[in-house]
Amino acid sequence: MPSTPPFSGPARCLRRRWWWSPSPEEETKTWRSYCGQPKPDPRLAKVREERMGWTAIAEAFLSLRDRGEGALVAYLMGGDPDPSRSLEYLCAAAEGGADLLEVGIPFSDPVADGPTIQAAGLRALAAGTTTETVLEVVRNLKRERPVPLLLMGYYNPILRFGEGAFCTAAAECGVDGLIVPDLPPEEAVPLKDAAERAGLGLVFLATPETEGRRIELIVRHTKGFLYLVSRYGTTGERDRLSREIPRLVGRVRERGGRVPIAVGFGISRPE
């Protein structure tokens, strides 16, 4: 496994309770009051017996479902604008109410991302952030805040790292799951196998045009939740969301049973 570079300065979570709202620099989704860590649920006994590390993701969704609440999944680019401040921002997100965190791995060719996340990735790369750096940020975060966490990134950096080595390193740092937007289930067998050996959940995406049988395929393979892309195009803030989203969720629900669904792309305000 490649060595992990040290931080340029001290980095610890700031133990402050505050309200957290989106900043222009980060493409976070929304905000609300912190509701604490989800309690264990007896329905997860089988998952625990299988030693699946994505138990934390399932616990979060089950706990929220029992309370009749939706999940807030907040995205921040790892290492932006530098590793120390990236850790502070992630801690702030956890303290501010995020039920799950997505931490981006910066990449030089982010084809699915809009200008905000592209700029965040470029700042992280300019600060010397690597995949190893992001893993170290996550390790430090998890020591302070045991919030369920997924790494989100393109397949190329994972492939360069080595699928098995990457999944092992991610699990050792406390990662619970992975989202790889440019990797469909049919091409994901090596990474899926490596993720399962490491106890990580591999989350797959569905789009507005994903048809019924393919939804069933994605539901069979996704672990933790299904990522529903709200619209075509790149990520980024939008003034309003499509009125088709409830219909899309309903269509996935018809084929996917009670698998948790997280809607992404363009979510930027509480309402």
Interatomic CA distance for residues 264 and 268, integer angstroms: 10
Interatomic CA distance for residues 182 and 112, integer angstroms: 8
| Beta strand extents in the chain (DSSP E only) | 73-77, 100-104, 149-152, 177-179, 201-203, 205-206, 226-229, 261-264
Instruction: Check residue 61 and give left, alpha or beta (phi > 0: left; psi -120 to 50: alpha).
Output: alpha
Query: Is residue 102 flagged as an active site residue?
Result: yes
- CA–CA distances in Å: residue 80 to residues 26, 89, 108, 271: 9, 9, 14, 27
Catalytic residue among 27, 59, 102, 163: 102
> Which residues are 178's β-sheet partners?
151, 202
Contact 216, 256 (CB under 8 A): yes
Query: Is residue 113 flagged as an active site residue?
Result: yes
Catalytic residue among 80, 95, 113, 163: 113
Contact 217, 249 (CB under 8 A): no
**Active site residues per annotation:** 102, 113
